[in-house]
Structure 1
Amino acid sequence: MTAAAAPPASDDEFRFLDFDALRVGRAGPLPAVARIAVDVADHRAVSGLAFDGGLPPEIVALHGAGLNAHSFDPTLLALGRPALALDLPGHGRSDWRSDGDYRPDALAADVVEVLERVARRPVTLLGHSLGGLTAALAAAMRPDLVRRVILVDITPGVSPARDTGSVREFIQGQRDFSSIDEIVQRAQRFGIGHERAALERGIALNTRLRPDGRLEWAHHLAHLEPAPLTADGEEAQPYTPIWGALVRLRSLDVPVALIAADAGILSRQHIAEWEDRLPSSAVVTIHGSHNLHEAAPLRLAEVLDGLHAKRSDAAT
């Protein structure tokens, strides 16, 4: 079945849930989804979306750079488990950091504060791209709050300059737009999604209208100079130390897993390094682009469900 075109613009942030449910074939009543906020350091708040609100989350999801918690809506609707999708600081409805620091180590401290408030039992910590690196560090800081860590299309071996340059260029290369259609066309040129209705939905939830009538990204990254996602000096592989966090988790019997996109940013060499450093950890490859939670939400949910249900690592 082909999903219908995205609904017209409105101020209701939940207006796409029926559309998302249709995409993943979810029938019946939708779960309760509520907006929550947790106070963190520096008088800031981290916002998020609680699925099956009132129940403690089994899964806490962290999106990638330039996205927001709604990116996970289709996947979490398909998964059907109590979950919390966070807006990382500087994204969605979470407060911007005054220092403009959105590297994984800075974000992880905020995520830990949220987990300390909401995790009534150990959770599966799911992270896509920047959110995956953040998840690894947050879990290593408080392994008692985490039962499993799953990274989506990211490893600490990536080079921002070599492997994620197109993502950064998409986020920061153009700052304002005349219409959603213009952004859709730009996204398609960058290979970010192919289903037009899904792209329109994601863009509508991630932009805001300026007083001059032009659209701009709602996240802080698009308003910063220089690019804030890399370490000082544009190191070739600034995230290499995060391997240590993943190895430590394994030593503490916290399973880790990797879900790769076959048309994403990870090469065979990245996956081979993962398998060498983390032998016997689960590795699954899914057909789709880097943003798997938007490009292949149903398949991603199926894989997540299987990994979440396991208690020990197993290569797939």
Structure 2
Amino acid sequence: MSEPTDEFSFLPEQAADAGIVGPIPRGERIALTLADGRILSALRYGDAPPVVTFLHGAGLNAHTWDTTILALGLPALAIDLPGHGDSSWRDDFAYTGRVLAPDIVTGIEAWTDRPQILVGHSLGGLTAAAVAASRPDLVRHLVIIDITPGVDPNAGPSQIRDFFAGPTDWASRDELVDRAMAFGLGGTRRAAERGVHFNSRVRADGRVEWKHHFAHLAAAMASAPQGPQPARPDAVSAVLGETGWDDLSEVRAPITLLRGDRGYVTDADAAAFADRVPAASVIVLPSGHNLQEETPVELAARLRTVVGKG
């Protein structure tokens, strides 16, 4: 696979693959320096101020939303969570929703001019709930994709842990694509190539490594000696064990849960969510965990409905 010089050069191909017609929005990489010197990076699409802000899941990056944003056709912001994409890693390994939320608040304050439709997938969903709970003035509607605080960490989410609990560097991006395909991730090989391109970097020694901190933490945990390990709030516990029911109970904005019928949220999880957040809407789409990559056009249609509700 040839290396593109423009990170938005994939957009026309993605639109064609998904059958999306119409103009391709202008995309730009933006960044700000946080109070402690870390960088928070994001992608902004369109020429008007964003009305929808997207937060990706663990092990992904802001480009996971590209096709969904193309289908949505609205000005949008997609943020690289700390420890992912072009955002800085955290020295304290703390990748839980409540820890990440203040950084996201800073980004939303800097890059938007109105309350957002805040859309979060997996870890991004838990983070979005914490943002909505702590700063209701910034969130017009909270959309959580295929995660609840009650998801069983030994069920679907273990796939994430197993996928990244391997080598942390590779001879080529093709090897990473092969691994993704072997785990049934990425859809077509071309889609997996795009995902790997945005989720990896070539080091000075020529080896390829994952950009996100999550893979390095998962690999370290997998290779650690058996026996008691020191507790630390790393990315694995963020996705597989954080309790966010308190955050959801404090959210004032309308809440929608979108889940895949083959995703991580089971019928029992969805029932528990509906019981604990009775005012929320729960919608099932024909998809696995990554709705934004497997059914982006249908997801965008659902989000347009949310936007129209005001």
TM-score by length of 2: 0.89
Q: Which among 7, 10, 18 is matched to residue 13 of structure 1? A: 7
2:250 maps to a residue whose letter is R
* Structure-1 separation of matches of 2:80 and 2:56: 7
Give the alignment of 1:268-287 within 5 angstroms: 268-287=267-286
* Structure-2 separation of matches of 1:310 and 1:274: 22
1:180 maps to a residue whose letter is R
Post-superposition Cα deviations, 1:205-226, rounded to whole Å, max 9, x if no partner, equal: 1111234433211112222334
* Structure-1 separation of matches of 2:156 and 2:12: 35
SS at match of 1:301: helix
Identify the range of structure 1 (176-185 vs 127-136) with the bigger mean alpha-carbon deviation: 176-185
Q: Which among 182, 190, 193 is matched to residue 183 of structure 2? A: 190
Q: CA deviation at 1:161?
A: 4.0
* Structure-2 separation of matches of 1:213 and 1:117: 36
Alpha carbons of structure 1 residues 31 and 88: separation in structure 2 relative to 1, 3 Å: same
2:274 maps to a residue whose letter is E
Per the alignment, residue 238 of structure 1 pairs with 241
Q: CA deviation at 1:160?
A: 3.0
Per the alignment, residue 124 of structure 1 pairs with 117
Q: CA deviation at 1:230?
A: 4.3
* Structure-2 separation of matches of 1:41 and 1:172: 32
1:239 maps to a residue whose letter is E
Determine whether 1:229 maps to 2:235: yes
Give the alignment of 1:257-272 within 5 angstroms: 257-272=256-271
SS at match of 1:117: helix
SS at match of 1:289: coil
Post-superposition Cα deviations, 1:12-38, rounded to whole Å, max 9, x if no partner, equal: 211211111112323233111111112
Q: Which runs of 5+ in 1 are unaligned?
A: 1-6, 312-316
Identity of aligned residues (%): 46
Per the alignment, residue 108 of structure 1 pairs with 101
* Structure-2 separation of matches of 1:152 and 1:291: 8
Conserved in 2, the CA contact under 8 Å of 1:192 and 1:289?
no
Count matched residues.
297
Q: CA deviation at 1:231?
A: 4.5
Identify the range of structure 1 (139-148 vs 34-43) with the bigger mean alpha-carbon deviation: 34-43
SS at match of 2:215: helix
Per the alignment, residue 297 of structure 1 pairs with 296
* Structure-2 separation of matches of 1:139 and 1:277: 17
Post-superposition Cα deviations, 1:160-194, rounded to whole Å, max 9, x if no partner, equal: 34441110121232322333333223223323232
* Structure-1 separation of matches of 2:12 and 2:125: 28
Per the alignment, residue 175 of structure 1 pairs with 168
* Structure-2 separation of matches of 1:141 and 1:280: 19
Conserved in 1, the CA contact under 8 Å of 2:255 and 2:279?
no
Give the alignment of 1:2-41 within 5 angstroms: 8-41=2-35
* Structure-2 separation of matches of 1:290 and 1:193: 11
Q: CA deviation at 1:270?
A: 0.8
Moved over 6 A (4+): none
Per the alignment, residue 231 of structure 2 pairs with none
RMSD: 2.0
* Structure-1 separation of matches of 2:110 and 2:206: 39
Alpha carbons of structure 1 residues 143 and 222: separation in structure 2 relative to 1, 3 Å: same
SS at match of 1:41: coil
Conserved in 1, the CA contact under 8 Å of 2:145 and 2:259?
yes
Q: Which among 152, 177, 201 is matched to residue 208 of structure 1? A: 201
TM-score by length of 1: 0.88
* Structure-1 separation of matches of 2:187 and 2:111: 35
Conserved in 1, the CA contact under 8 Å of 2:256 and 2:282?
yes
* Structure-1 separation of matches of 2:29 and 2:237: 32
